[in-house]
């Protein structure tokens, strides 16, 4: 069902909360009119044992029409988080429906990713919503806590890009067949202001990342080039920034736009949750993780919609319920 909001919307800006209210009303009316039972939508959030990921799972699991799966590297921590979330009960008496995958999910291990996809296929046969949230950042003191010694910038590049970019790519590709079975598939990639275009100091690089014909192999080559340039000490002179995490999130935003072009039947968007108070920044953030989880939740439950220019809400980058330019300017 395609519903256009009667509220004036600035060009290429989406008022997600307003649309959600309209869709909730229509959805309630349709549910009342039909007695046919409908299955819950199946959502999966990676890296959801804490922080923004856990809060996204809380919001999705508290929706009576959604069963939310969480995929975590540490199964025990995932099960603990799921048990904590299941203890939540909404004001309407709805229990948070969250289930932790009983097998480890590791962005650096393709076999573990494929095993998780196989598990979801065997248990649920379909996936409606994929939230790619899992990532690493070398500012995270909990990450340093599991490392034997601090990792230098040159080594950070390979680990960060392999985990955040290539791991997310592998996850998306592994779950795409299940998403294609959904009547309204969604992919939401959690990005960051750290991945804004302005971190690039080369117009040539900007042009490559923003090209409408950029392919996944070409983007992957760019990400590998960054790692190589960091390792040989030439990244700065070639226009790359001094942030591995930023480049990984730059790649995630670019990947989102490619996926939206390649899969027009799937709503693919990226979200900046804001500077949330999480382990990643030693809890120095200024935004509550539950606030950062709101836009990913809205993108997961809203109906497909077109803006005033007739474009689908896909291939866009969001911050606080509104589309934001990739340049942040």
Q: Active-site positions?
A: 245
Cβ neighbours for 89, distance < 8 A, ≥ 6 positions apart:
95, 96
Cβ atoms of residues 284 and 265 within 8 Å = no
Q: How far is CA 70 from CA 46, 89, 108, 143, 285, in A?
A: 6, 18, 17, 20, 24
Q: 288 and 67 in contact (C-beta within 8 Å)?
A: no
Write b or e for each residue in 103-125: b if 16 or more Cβ atoms lie within 10 A of its Cβ, otherwise e.
ebbbbeeeebbebbbebbbeebe
Residues forming a β-bridge with 186: 129, 267
For residue 33, what are the contacts with CB-CB under 8 A and spacing of at least 6?
none
Long-range interactions of 291-295: CB distance < 8 A, separation 24+: 292/52, 292/55, 293/52, 293/55, 293/56, 293/58, 293/59, 294/59, 294/320, 294/321, 295/16, 295/271, 295/319, 295/320, 295/321
**Which of 232, 98, 244, 237 shows the shortest CA–CA distance to 162?**
244
Under 8 Å between Cβ of 277 and 285? yes
Within 13 A of 215's CA, how many CA atoms are on the CB side?
Answer: 2
Residue 266: Cβ within 10 Å count? 18
Cα 86 versus chain centre, distance: 22
Where are the alpha helices (H) located in 8-136, listed in sequence order?
Answer: 16-33, 51-61, 75-86, 110-124
């Amino acid at each position: 069902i395609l519903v256009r909001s009667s509220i004036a919307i600035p060009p290429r800006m989406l008022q997600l909360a307003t649309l959600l209210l309209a869709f909730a009303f229509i959805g309630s009316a349709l549910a009342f009119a039909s007695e046919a039972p409908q299955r819950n939508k199946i959502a999966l959030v990676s890296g959801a044992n804490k922080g923004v990921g856990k809060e996204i799972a809380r919001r999705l699991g508290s929706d009576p029409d959604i069963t939310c799966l969480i995929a975590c590297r540490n199964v025990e921590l995932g099960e603990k988080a799921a048990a904590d979330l299941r203890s939540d009960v909404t004001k309407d008496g709805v229990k948070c429906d969250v289930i932790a995958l009983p097998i480890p999910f590791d962005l650096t291990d393709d076999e573990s990713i494929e095993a998780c996809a196989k598990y979801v296929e065997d248990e649920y046969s379909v996936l409606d919503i994929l939230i790619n949230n899992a990532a690493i950042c070398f500012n995270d003191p909990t990450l340093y806590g599991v490392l034997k010694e601090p990792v230098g910038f040159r080594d950070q590049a390979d680990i960060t890009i392999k985990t955040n970019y290539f791991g997310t790519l592998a996850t998306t590709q592994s779950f795409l067949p299940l998403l294609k079975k959904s009547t309204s598939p969604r992919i939401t990639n959690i990005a960051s202001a750290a991945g804004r275009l302005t971190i690039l100091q080369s117009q040539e690089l900007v042009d490559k990342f923003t090209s409408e014909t950029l392919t996944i192999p070409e983007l992957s080559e760019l990400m590998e080039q960054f790692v190589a340039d960091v390792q040989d000490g030439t990244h700065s002179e070639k226009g790359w920034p001094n942030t591995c995490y930023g480049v990984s999130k730059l790649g995630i935003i670019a990947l989102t736009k490619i996926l939206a072009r390649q899969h027009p039947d799937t709503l693919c968007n990226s979200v900046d949750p804001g500077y949330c108070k999480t382990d990643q920044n030693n809890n120095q953030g200024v935004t509550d993780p539950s606030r950062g989880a709101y836009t990913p939740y809205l993108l997961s439950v809203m109906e497909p919609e077109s803006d005033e220019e007739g474009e689908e809400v896909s291939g866009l980058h969001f911050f606080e319920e509104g589309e934001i330019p990739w340049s942040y300017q």
